[in-house]
Amino acid sequence: MEDGAESSSEVQTVSSDVPKTPNQELKKLLSFKVYKRRWFVLLVLCLLNCSNATIWLTFAPVADKSAKFLNVTLEEINWLSLVYMVVAIPLSFGTTWMLDTLGLRITLILGAWLNMFGGLVRFFGKFEEPQYTIPYSAVMVGQTLGAIAQPLIIFTPTKLAALWFPDHQRATANMIASMSNPLGLLLANIISPLIVQTSTQIPTLLIAYAAPACFICFLATVGIRSSSPPTPPSASAESSGSEPFVQGIKLLLRNKAYLVLLLCFGSGVAVFTCFSTLLQQILCVQGYTNDFAGICGALFIVFGIVGAAVLGLYVDKTKKFTEAIKINMSFTALSCIAFSLVSLLPHQKAAVAAVCSLLGFFGFSIYPVAMELSVECSYPVGEATSAGLVFVSGQVQCVLYILLLQALTKRLADSPLSTCGGEVLSWKVPMLVMAGLLSFFTCCFVIFFHTPYRRLLAEEEATYGTKKTSVSTVSESVPSMET
């Protein structure tokens, strides 16, 4: 690919050596363009995704102090995170329709405004000597607004990558946008314990998360001028979301490979959400502090971002989506088993931190690649629909998992090492169950998931008028382009 400057708009023209006898119906697709402003749209999405994640996980790293400030139980604090999963489930279908029908711009701007109002509403309270008090109901309303915004934001990476980026940058763009969500979780795990040394500092924490949301809302509203570029960057971008929403759902329900991905990867999303939500409560039983739990959460996400960067670049180059996910899911299951064991041991900070790092490195890196794979195995269904339903599956399973894991906990009468600050619960059985569930669904995915890469094959056929018959070596048939 060579950069070509245009006076009216900053454009890069994609040129490649193509046969002289292309498919005549799609001859217009032989010249594609990529626009420099795609990086600004990606930046806004990343900032918005990051902000929404910090609002989501504001209270989990400081659950005990949050419960004291709001005068509620730990279970009610868990619901401040769980509401994101509950709200996202019914709204997700509307979001996928909105992205594929109304477009990227309207969806992102609406998500930005909802996210901003969610961050601001949480601060509504009153001064009662000697401190500023905020009712639990106001916090829940704010969390609910943020939860409504989440699917509008988190379903967008695959759509953005398909509409604005060429085929050899899609997985990387998806990785960058998707990993901004765990980056927000990382910031929440660091900032929340850092600011909240005592329960009275919760209002300060809420301001710290609301201010960036306002700035990002301004950027989205003013800066995003269109849903897609004037000229598509690839053949598939021209027909992005070509299947009607209802027809797309029907096609997905008849796609066996997609259903396996929907169930198995959805289980992985659920396990990682449970891990992020419950980490502090699990570790405090054995005497680990909130600060250490925050460090473990940070390592979990930092190594996840590193793993995602490596895997995203690898998959963009080789197109080996299936192999990469199967290998990483297997190592993720082993890491989850290891965590379920070491988290029960006191005075093992190095082991706990190491396992959290491995769990993040292998587990988080799967997410953006799996979102791309959901599009590849379901094309020509719209990207928002195919990737969005995978996310919905994860949310549904997460609600079930958290309720199941909480039900399996047992109250401990005596726990001399505990730093939980309130009631002490045993997480031994829940952690073993969680590891078992992830291992089971990993085995199912490794054994039963097989698919052609439909989008890559369609792009090749559109460009060259030919179609490879080998699905396992489709990456070898995709022409390479250099920027």
Q: Which residues contact 82 (CB under 8 A, 6 or more apart)?
A: 277, 399, 402
Please tell me the total number of residues recorded for the chain in this structure: 483
The torsion of the CA quartet 357, 361, 366, 369, rounded to 10 degrees, works out to: 140
Check: CB of residue 304 under 8 Å from CB of residue 321.
Answer: no
The residue ranges of every structural domain in the chain are: 35-240, 242-461
Can you give the pTM of this predicted structure?
0.69
Longest Cα separation, the chain = 80
The whole-angstrom separation of Cα 141 and Cα 41 is 29
pLDDT of residue 399: 81
User: Exposed, middle or buried: residue 127 (CB in 10 Å: 0-12, 13-18, 19+)?
Assistant: exposed
Check: CB of residue 271 under 8 Å from CB of residue 401.
Answer: yes
Copy the structure tokens of residue 153.
């934001």
The whole-angstrom separation of Cα 221 and Cα 204 is 27
Q: How far is CA 482 from the centre of its chain?
A: 28
pLDDT of residue 211: 92
Check: CB of residue 452 under 8 Å from CB of residue 343.
Answer: no
> Spelled out in words, what is the top-level CATH class assigned to the domain 242-461?
mainly alpha
Q: Which DSSP letter does residue 479 get?
A: P
Averaged over successive runs of 10 residues, the pLDDT of the chain (483 residues) comes to 41 43 46 80 92 88 84 84 81 78 87 93 77 86 92 84 81 82 82 85 89 93 84 64 70 90 89 81 82 83 87 85 91 92 86 91 86 85 80 84 86 73 77 91 93 82 56 40 38
Q: DSSP of 310-378, one letter per residue?
A: HHHHHHHHH--HHHHHHHHHHHHHHHHHHHHHHTTSSS-HHHHHHHHHHHHHHHTTHHHHHHHHHHHTT
The torsion of the CA quartet 301, 302, 307, 313, rounded to 10 degrees, works out to: 110
Which of 305, 311, 351 has its CA nearest to residue 328?
A: 311
pLDDT of residue 215: 94
Element (H, E) at 35: strand 32-35
Q: 35-240: which CATH topology?
A: Growth Hormone; Chain: A; (1.20.1250)
Which of 290, 201, 252 has its CA nearest to residue 393?
A: 252
Which of 183, 161, 299 has its CA nearest to residue 232?
A: 161
